Structure 1
Amino acid sequence: MRISTAQYYETTAANYQRNFNKAIATSNEASSLTRVNTAADDPVGAGRLLQLGQQSAMLDQYNGNISSTKSSLSLQETTLDSIGTALQRAKEIALSANNGIATDNDRKAYAAELGQIQQQVLGLMNSKDASGNFLFSGSKTDTPPYSQNSDGTYTYNGDQTSINLGIGDGLSVATNTTGWDAFQQTINTSRTQATMTAPAVDDGRVVLSNGQVSNSATYDAKFASGQPYTVTFLSSTQLKITDGLGNDVTTEASQNGAFSNSNGANQVVNFRGVDLNLNINLKPGDVPDTVIAGHTFQLSASPDSFNATRSAGNASTAVITGSAITNPAAYNAAFPTGGAILKFTSATAFDLYAAPVTADSRPVSSGAVVAGPPSTATAAGVTFTLGGGAPAANDQFAVQSNDHQTQNVLDTLGKMINAMNVPIDGNTNAKQQFQAAMDSGLANLESASNQLGSAITSIGARGQSLDDQSTTNQSLGLANTSTQSSIRDSDPAEVMTRLTLQQTMLQAAQLAFSKITSLGLFNKI
């Protein structure tokens, strides 16, 4: 086979250029010790490096999420601890006010300090983080979680939504603690009431407290289904309890309904999970059986109450001044449990909707205003008392029911403050009622502290999960870095050996080319 001189030159130049480019690439690799610079260097390795880079970026994001979540949870825990400290002081104040020697002036001073604690707790509940977001509002981070109503009670304005951040593959953790979980679900131990039904005028000789729930399981299983109960005092040492159907259930009361009249102060009658404080106040010359027998009380769960808030866009000045259940059957059947909207279609007609109202909402109840004074509107078994003038068309009121199963600590403190401000010096019955109110408040403060403890425990558990996952992410990060290095980085010894070989081959090619090109007939002339 014959090869022309031009063809030989062209082929040799191409081979030399290719080998020279390889040597240059190897020289660059020796300088950077990076084997894969482009996908062409190693298509499979480049694809794997892309995947590893994405994993590394995700690990960085996870670590950033862990860091920010730890900071947020730490702030929440510190705030909850501060609230717990304030509640401990509130307990001390309640015990001091109820020590039996405090005067009305002392109790007013205690009430003033308790009012300051209430405002301190409110401020802590409405705390913000460094970004200006409210800590305990759930996903409604721009809304203060608690606000005061016109009747002095407090409403939770946040939601129950947890804000989750990913901290690992398929693993996320809640970065927030909602006010619903930390404060709003505090079990209310004072959710029963005892109302004297006879005699018509209270003579003060028999004082029965509203009661405290001492066993929630027994209360839920037995008490609620049998109410309302009638407590009848048969004599100076025996009472009788009948349920709503008239069945005698006295055997379920402590000591089968027996009590003492000789040591009648601060006796406790336990019935179906409820502790009732009983005080017998005999007067000189009283015949015990004569003055005690015939007293009767109705014992039941506290009826639902309602908080009604007028819409800021209402055209009229009408307000809802009061509300009460007047038809229990209709209320239980129709009133929206998640809140309602009372909307007036005119000055005399209205509709009640389940909240929130949408374009396709249908009223659950409708009716007409009954002229007063005071004027009233009854919807779904609830009668609303109107004041401040006649309502106008399109006036709306947001109505939220409270079944008293739970009670936030702000309301507990408010009730204790009100009780401390009532004069009781020289009034035995009033003192006994005050003692019952303080016992109730202390029990609910303890319940609130327990709820805080549960929230702090949840924060601690999430913090431990963050620490564990952080360790896992660090291990994954080290493995990722090592794997990327094994794919991307070069072995210095192998690169230098290859570079030396390629340089030697170039030198050999140059020498061979010069020798071959010197061969020819002209060299023989």
Structure 2
Amino acid sequence: MRISTAQFYESSAANYQKNFSNVVKSSEEASSLVRVNTAADDPVGASRLLQLGQQASMLDQYSANMTTIKGTLGQTESVMTSIGNVLQRAKELALGAGNAGYTDADRQANASELGQIEEQLLSLMNTKDENGKYIFSGSKGDVVPFTRNTDGSYAYNGDQVTLDLPIGDTQSMATNSTGWDVFQQAINTTRTQTTLTAPAVDDGRVVLSNGQVESDVTYNAKFRSGEPYTVSFVSGTQLQITDSLGNDVTAEASQNGVFSSTSGAATQTVSFRGIDLNLNINLQAGDVPGTVITGHSFTLAAKPDSFNTSRSPGNPSTALVTGASVTNSTNYHASFPGGGAILKFTSATNFELYAAPLTVNSKPVSTGTMAGTTATASGVSFTVSGTPGAGDQFSVAVNTHQTQNILDTVSQLKTALSTPTNNNPIAIQQMNAAVTAGIGNLSSGMDQLASGISSVGGRGASLDTQTDINQSLALANTQTQSAIRDSDPAEVMTRLTLQQTMLQASQLAFSKIAQLGLFNKV
């Protein structure tokens, strides 16, 4: 076969370029020890490296998220611990106030310190983080979580939303603890009340406290189904309890309703369907127990829901809602929004009630027209002061008394200790009952706080575990990427040496064959 001079030179040049390119590429690989620089180097390996790179980026983000969460949890735990210490001091003051040797001045001194504790608690519960966001407001970081109402009670203005960040492929973790969970959900142990129904004028001879819930299970299972109860004193040593249907349920009371009529004796406890009632008998000189005690009666029931209303700052009028109460229990339980409501006036007399929050898509749950100064919606009557304007809105918060904010507990204790007894036995008995109730709610609030601290600690422990998992994944990721991307130095150097030899051979072959032309024979 004949090979032209042009073909020979073209073939030799192509072979030389190929060998030279291989030498250059291997030289670069030997210098960097990186095998896969582009997808052309290894299509399958490049695709796998892309996946591993994405995983590495996610692991870096998880690490950053966990650093953020650890910082937030650390601050939250520190604030909660401080609040726990403050509450412990409040409990010590309450226990001390029950000392029989305390005077009104001593109790008022304790009340003064409780006032300072109340302000300290409010400040701690409104703590901000390093970014100026309130740590207990849920997702509403710019909203003050706890504020004082006009009646001295406290309202929670945040929400129940936690801010979650991913810390693993299938795991996210809350960065915050909401004030709703930590402070608003403490069980209220004083959610029942007694009302004297006979005699018409309280003679002070029988004092029956509002009661304190000692067993939530029994209270919810038995007490609520039979209320309201009537507690009647049928003799000087026997009381009778009947439920709302008139059934005699005295057998469920401690000692079957038997009590001591000895005047001035220590406070007696009547336990009934999960609650404890304090009973005091105060006889006067010449009293016959069977005569002066018989005929006293009380109603006993859960505290009715109460309402706190506030006007919208943008209201066109200066009208105010000054009071609210349930006037139709059936309508109230059937349609009143349990999570809070918005009372909106469409004119000076017409109004609509919406479930909160009010949006453009909200539909009214009740409408009506004012009767005088009263607007009744879903079984609740609102007393209005002034003439409403079209567009006036009022926020309505419902207090079911099932739970109680620790700020309200401290405030109520302060009020009870601030009220002088003037050594009046009945006033002292009422004050002692209020202190006992306050101590119970303080304990409940501290238990709820402890649960919040445990939640923070649990998340911290979970973070430590996930950190170890992520570090293991990151190490495996790095090793796998290295196995795919990096070169074996011995293999690269061997290949480079072979390619350099082949390049030199191609150069030598070209020079030898080029000398075989006819012109070299002339």
Global fold match (TM > 0.5): yes
8 Å CA contact 1:317–1:391 kept in 2: the answer is yes
- Deviation string for 1:301-357 (max 9, x for gaps)? 000000001111112221112211122122122212121111222223322222233
Q: Which residue of 1 aligns with 2:376?
A: 378
- Deviation string for 1:56-90 (max 9, x for gaps)? 00000011111111111111111111110000000
Structure 2: segments with no counterpart, 5+ residues: none
Q: Which residue of 2 aligns with 1:180?
A: 180
Residues of 1 paired with 2:367 and 2:416: CA distance?
39
Indicate which of 440, 445, 448 corresponds to 2:442: 445
Structure 1 residue 362 displacement after superposition: 3.5
Q: Which residue of 2 aligns with 1:82?
A: 82
Using the TM superposition, name which of 237-246 and 169-178 deviates more: 169-178
**Where do 1:278-427 residues align within 5 Å?**
278-371=279-372, 375-387=373-385, 389-427=386-424
Q: Which residue of 2 aligns with 1:499?
A: 496
Change (3 A) 1:288 1:133: same
Q: Which residue of 1 aligns with 2:128?
A: 128
What code does the residue aligned with 2:100 have? G
Change (3 A) 1:58 1:359: closer
Percent same amino acid among aligned pairs?
Answer: 64
- Deviation string for 1:287-312 (max 9, x for gaps)? 11111111100000000000001111
Residues of 2 paired with 1:362 and 1:508: CA distance?
90
Residues of 2 paired with 1:345 and 1:48: CA distance?
64
Residues of 2 paired with 1:503 and 1:368: CA distance?
100
Structure 1 residue 360 displacement after superposition: 4.4
Matched residue SS, 1:57: helix
Residues of 1 paired with 2:362 and 2:162: CA distance?
28
Q: Which residue of 1 aligns with 2:54?
A: 54
Matched residue SS, 1:303: coil
Instruction: Tell me the matched-pair count.
Output: 521
Residues of 1 paired with 2:363 and 2:498: CA distance?
87
What code does the residue aligned with 2:445 have? A
8 Å CA contact 1:264–1:278 kept in 2: the answer is no
Moved over 4 A (4+): none
8 Å CA contact 1:128–1:135 kept in 2: the answer is yes
Matched residue SS, 2:187: coil
Q: Which residue of 1 aligns with 2:117?
A: 117
Residues of 1 paired with 2:378 and 2:435: CA distance?
35
TM-score normalised over the length of structure 1: 0.97
- Deviation string for 1:337-383 (max 9, x for gaps)? 12111122222332222223334444333333333xxx322222222
Asked whether 1:428 is paired with 2:422, we answer no
8 Å CA contact 2:115–2:414 kept in 1: the answer is yes
Matched residue SS, 1:343: strand
Change (3 A) 1:117 1:147: same
8 Å CA contact 1:26–1:498 kept in 2: the answer is yes
Q: Which residue of 1 aligns with 2:214?
A: 214
Using the TM superposition, name which of 237-246 and 333-342 deviates more: 333-342
Residues of 2 paired with 1:392 and 1:522: CA distance?
115
Matched residue SS, 1:143: coil
RMSD of Structure 2 on Structure 1 (CA): 1.3
Residues of 2 paired with 1:394 and 1:494: CA distance?
82
8 Å CA contact 1:265–1:280 kept in 2: the answer is no
Q: Which residue of 2 aligns with 1:274?
A: 275
Residues of 2 paired with 1:42 and 1:383: CA distance?
78
Residues of 2 paired with 1:343 and 1:516: CA distance?
103
What code does the residue aligned with 1:280 have? I
Matched residue SS, 1:230: strand
Residues of 2 paired with 1:351 and 1:49: CA distance?
62
TM-score normalised over the length of structure 2: 0.98
